[in-house]
Amino acid sequence: MVRPESSKLYHSISEVAAMFGVNASLIRFWEKEFDIIKPRKNAKGNRLFTQQDIDNIALIHYYVKERRMTLEGARQKIKQNRDDAEHNFQIIQSLKKIKAMLLEIKENLDNEQ
């Protein structure tokens, strides 16, 4: 999963769920379980997620879905040393981008032969 970034100021819960390939109900559940997710709500009560919320969801998604940590384990990891957790997450995302780029180059070279 690549960390999604957008020029929009606010995203709906369905947009955020689509970014991570999960159901909106999981985003709502994580909102209750992790105090770092604090979407704003409009007059109708619809959640509006900022880029900071999306970054926090990406961090939770990484620990829970990719690293297979429990919710409590992810919560503790984020709480213990948030800066290290974010730094490690960013490094891993950068490495994934490099890997994807290298695989694309390899594929292009294979197609030329």
Question: So what's the pLDDT on residue 113?
Answer: 73
| Predicted local confidence at residue 50, as pLDDT | 94
- Please check the confidence at residue 1 and state whether its pLDDT lies above 50: no
- Residue 6 DSSP class: -
Give the end-to-end CA distance of the chain in Å, rounded to a whole number: 31
Q: What CATH topology corresponds to 13-112? A: Multidrug-efflux Transporter Regulator; Chain: A; Domain 2 (1.10.1660)
pTM here is: 0.69
Residue 112 pLDDT: 81
pLDDT at 5: 57
The per-residue pLDDT for range 14-70, each reduced to its tens digit, is 999 999 999 999 999 999 999 999 999 999 999 999 998 998 999 899 899 988 999
Over the stretch 78-91, which tens digit does the pLDDT of each residue have? Answer: 888 666 767 777 78
Determine phi and psi for 32, rounding to 5 degrees. -75, -35
Q: What pLDDT is stored for residue 111 in this prediction?
A: 85
Give the pLDDT of residue 15: 95
